[in-house]
Amino acid sequence: MTAQQFHERVSELDLTGRSFLTIHDFSPAEVRALLDLATALKVAQKRREPHAVLAGRAVAMIFMKTSTRTRVSFEIGIEQLGAQPMFLSANDVQLRVGETIKDTANVMSRYVDCLMIRTFAQKDVDDLAKYGQIPVINGLTDTHHPCQGMADALTIREHCGKLEGAKLVYSGDGNNVAHSLAEVGAKTGMRVVICTPEGYGPDMDIIARAQADAAQTGATIELTSDLQAGVEGADVIYTDTFTSMGQEAEHDVRLAALKAYQVDMDLVRRAGPQVKVMHCLPAHWGEEITEEVLYSPNSVVFDQAENRLHAQKAIMAAVIR
């Protein structure tokens, strides 16, 4: 596909200038179109076809939380699209410390064409988008991980051949990843089952919005504490670390509470030979997942990690002017 064809496809999406804060903000058709664009960009890269559709642009990456996959996938993706990446750590940009979010948003809008931010509070991301004049991409907050959710949907579609009707079972803590999986599942017609112990469930306001979206697409969003029953017939089993960044002091308590939600080979066999196993990484062997499962034939974890690159490139190509 030529650069011109990419530009035409992006124009058809009509997402230019939009911020990517949560998956809930986008229609089912827009989510599908972004996934299709991600696939096209992935094919172009594999074929070594140039696709520098953002030549002359600049993207600032603000990291209030450290990262491996987010940093590498965004920086490489920005360069592959022909734009200039700029990394800013928490020591470089101290949001709400010394300068207001409003001022930061207005100043950065004069320098760069897009902001990607990985931070703690969703409000910081929302406020950057509210006060700035450029698209803001949510690289992760404590309540949402939308770029991960898009990469996950791309991976499921590749390995299961569909999203509509696919059964995704999430096991563990009802965290930001669980929220974004519920949202992308609702937009794409999936059957999402979130399995968590009492006291570790997802935010019910986010789930309620996802269930409302699901009613429009034929998707289902189910909450349960019964993991063993939940995984039967699953197309995908998904887990994430039991202790997220900032919760280190709770590690032992959380590990004890979530122990029964570990993804091991017994759970994989219960789901059936068709099941794919996913994890957004980093993985903690012996806690939420075993090494045996992570490197089993059922695992698509590293395909999933790769797809962060392609999904994020699609988002940037679609929203940056």
Q: Which of 24, 69, 71, 145 is catalytic?
A: 145
**Per-residue model confidence (pLDDT) at position 245:** 75
pLDDT at 216: 97
The question of whether 308 is a catalytic residue gets the answer yes
Task: Measure the CA–CA gap between 237 and 299, rounded to whole angstroms.
Answer: 9
pLDDT tens-digit map of 64-111:
998 999 999 999 999 999 999 999 999 898 777 778 999 999 999 999
Q: How far apart are CA 75 and CA 73, in angstroms?
A: 6
pLDDT tens per residue, range 112-149: 999 999 999 999 999 999 999 999 999 999 999 999 99
pTM score of the predicted model: 0.96
Is 145 part of the annotated catalytic residue set? yes
285 closest CA partner among 241, 320, 237, 319: 241
Q: Count Cβ atoms below 10 Å from residue 42 Cβ, excluding itself.
A: 19
Asked whether 278 and 39 are in contact (CB, 8 A), the reply is no
- pLDDT at res. 1: 57
14 in catalytic set: no
Q: Using an 8 Å Cβ cutoff, are 225 and 197 in contact?
A: yes
Answer with the residue of higher pLDDT: 13 or 260.
260
CB count within 10 Å of CB 201 equals 17
Q: What percent of the chain has pLDDT over 70?
A: 97
Task: Identify the architecture of domain 148-305 in CATH.
Answer: 3-Layer(aba) Sandwich (3.40)
Three-state DSSP at 40 gives helix
Coil/strand/helix, residue 223: strand
Distance between first and last Cα of the chain:
20
Arithmetic mean of pLDDT over the chain: 95
Distance CA 194, CA 269 (A): 19
Exposure pattern of 218-237 as b/e (b: 16+ CB <10 Å)?
A: ebbbbbeeebeebbeebbbb
pLDDT tier at 243 (50, 70, 90 boundaries)? confident
User: Of residues 240, 304, 310, 312, which has the active-site annotation?
Assistant: 240
> Which secondary-structure segment (H or E) carries 278?
strand 276-279
Residue whose token pair is 């804060």: 21
Residue 319 near residue 34 (C-beta atoms within 8 A): no
Confidence of residue 4 (pLDDT cuts 50, 70, 90): low
In the set 114, 160, 195, 280, the catalytic residue is 280
Q: Active-site residue among 69, 144, 147, 148?
A: 148
Instruction: Write down the H helix ranges in 81-233.
Output: 101-111, 122-131, 146-160, 176-188, 204-217, 227-230
308: exposed, middle or buried (Cβ count in 10 Å: 0-12, 13-18, 19+): buried
Residue 14: what pLDDT?
87
Contact 124, 95 (CB under 8 A): yes
Asked about 147 being catalytic, the answer comes back as no
Find the largest Cα–Cα distance for the chain: 55
> Is 254 a catalytic site residue?
no
Catalytic residue (one of 9, 18, 57, 118): 118
The 10 Å Cβ neighbour count of residue 255 is 16
Which residue in this structure is represented by tokens 């703690």?
120
Q: How many residues are present in the chain?
A: 321
Catalytic residue among 71, 144, 308, 310: 308
Fold held by 3-144+308-319: Rossmann fold (3.40.50)
CA 80 to centroid of chain Cα atoms: 20
Span(s) in the chain for CATH 3.40.50.1370: 3-144+308-319, 148-305
